[in-house]
Chain A
Amino acid sequence: MRRTRRRSVVARGAFRGGREHRARRRALGAGVLIAAVLGLAGCSQGVSRQDAADLLGSQVWPVGPVTVDGTTDGGRFPRPSITTRTDSDATPARAAASAVDDAVAAGWIPVYARCAGPDDEVVVHVVRQLRDGAVAVATIDAADPAVLRQEGVGVGRPGEQDGPRTVVRISAVASAPEDLDDDAFIPPVLRDGGPGPGDRVDLGDCLASAAQEPGTVAPRWIGTPAVLPREGGPLPAR
């Protein structure tokens, strides 16, 4: 009898201890759950390098393989990029205008263009937001292929006169995770919510005058350049 009572006391103690243990486990579990939810929420706001590469690669324009090349030595970091090259029989201005139309239809916003004469190189910068603060910048460069030969880019054979009138090179670069931590190198037009209505430039004057004014050599531009090199950093000391 006495032995049984002792047992029951021990059992009650064990029961009470088990209840506390379960409560502690529940509290711990809840804490872990909250931490996991917060952690996942934090993750969902970030964009990894692979995410940025996937986002860039999923754009309707430009279409091409995404590469992430570069070093992380000395605080530098690589950004995902796409590079394409197409031939055109149009003048550089008309070929650039066509590429810009494609970009705008895909949601990109032109913010800068540089033009000169009718046969001269045309450069246009277009930008867009991707997701969760990630952004992308693309450069459309339409030029006589002879320029590319001079730069050592393999277009045709040396001395070859037949071939495209214009080569259009497109280079699109997405921001890296480091750019989300510190936007020091993000073009100003892409900060604070992205480009507004006033940042979108009308390329008509630049491209039309480049196409219609033979003999002119005066360089002209519209808007402000937006440059995002394939290699970023180092970020500034804070």
Chain B
Amino acid sequence: MSRVLVPRRRLPTLVGGAVVLALLGACVPSAPADQTTAVDVERYQELATDPWIGADDVRVARYRFGSNGLFDDGLASTRRQVTGERLAVLTAEIAAAATVGWWVAGATCDTAGAASGGGASVELIRALADGSSAVGTMTITSRGDSATDTAPTSQTVSVVAEVPHHSHPDPVVPDRVPVDVGTLSCLGGSAGATVGQVGAFEPVRDR
């Protein structure tokens, strides 16, 4: 006869624990069947094949697993190191992005760098084939900010581009007007910490 390994007085605790775990497991909602559709895949491929972004990582829009009905937008991101003064690098990147359809909606200085010398972010828009829009945020920071760096003209350019999940509304795209990022205060200009319009995209919305 086999021995009972668990003392009888602990059985109710173990059974109760197992029931609680099972109930908690049942509480995690499963992903809906239409969490990702052909619309999301098309938008994914538009970001993945964008030569200006040259994404290191790309993610299709999908259900946020474990959430209560939240969906993440599609996303592509990259980071690169470029030599040059900040404004020159930004201007060159904006010109390169324009050749594949990106245009600048606005730009802003980092909170910590509102004065001249800080980092800056540029918000760009690109029309998608299905009529929606991708919104990209390009951020530039000087490697010279770090005590370990010796090349103050070396910049790190980060790009994060997002496309809406098929169940989300399209980004609110501002009127297309010329935006001169060189007038930002953090880049030596006099227009203040923000030029143009930023904030066309909210990353995650309820369904």
Per-residue B-contact encoding for A184-211, CB less than 8 Å = 1, 0 else: 1101100000000000000000000000
* A112 & B54 in contact (Cβ 8 Å cutoff): yes
How many chain B residues touch A (CB < 8 A): the figure is 50
* A217 & B88 in contact (Cβ 8 Å cutoff): yes
Please list 12 pairs of residues, one from A and one from B, whose beta carbons are closer than 8 Å in the complex, sorted by A's number. Answer: A116-B82, A119-B83, A121-B82, A144-B154, A159-B147, A184-B44, A185-B44, A217-B88, A219-B93, A221-B52, A236-B36, A236-B41
Q: Would A237 and B37 be within 8 Å (CB), given that A149-B148, A221-B54 are in contact?
A: yes
* A235 & B36 in contact (Cβ 8 Å cutoff): yes
Per-residue B-contact encoding for A114-126, CB less than 8 Å = 1, 0 else: 1011111101000
- Whether A44 is near chain B, meaning CB under 8 Å from some CB there, is no
* B96 & A74 in contact (Cβ 8 Å cutoff): no
In the complex, residue of chain A having the shortest beta-carbon distance to the beta carbon of B90: A217
> Which interface residue of B40, B52, B84 has the most chain A CB atoms within 10 A?
B84
- Whether B92 is near chain A, meaning CB under 8 Å from some CB there, is yes
How many chain A residues sit at the interface, stated as a range, is: 35 or more
* A234 & B51 in contact (Cβ 8 Å cutoff): no
- Whether A229 is near chain B, meaning CB under 8 Å from some CB there, is yes
Shortest beta-carbon contacts, A-B, top 4: A217-B84, A74-B65, A74-B31, A147-B81
* B54 & A225 in contact (Cβ 8 Å cutoff): yes
Q: Would A121 and B150 be within 8 Å (CB), given that A74-B63, A187-B49, A235-B36 are in contact?
A: no
> Which label, helix, strand, loop or mixed, suits the secondary structure of the A interface?
loop
For residue A154, which residues in chain B have a CB less than 8 angstroms away from its CB?
A: none
A51 to chain B, nearest CB (A): 25
- Whether B59 is near chain A, meaning CB under 8 Å from some CB there, is yes
A224 to B149: give the CA distance in the assembly, Å. Answer: 33
Q: Would A234 and B60 be within 8 Å (CB), given that A159-B147, A159-B148, A225-B50 are in contact?
A: yes
- Whether B34 is near chain A, meaning CB under 8 Å from some CB there, is yes
* B45 & A229 in contact (Cβ 8 Å cutoff): no
Per-residue B-contact encoding for A172-194, CB less than 8 Å = 1, 0 else: 00000000000011011000000
For residue A76, which residues in chain B have a CB less than 8 angstroms away from its CB?
A: 65
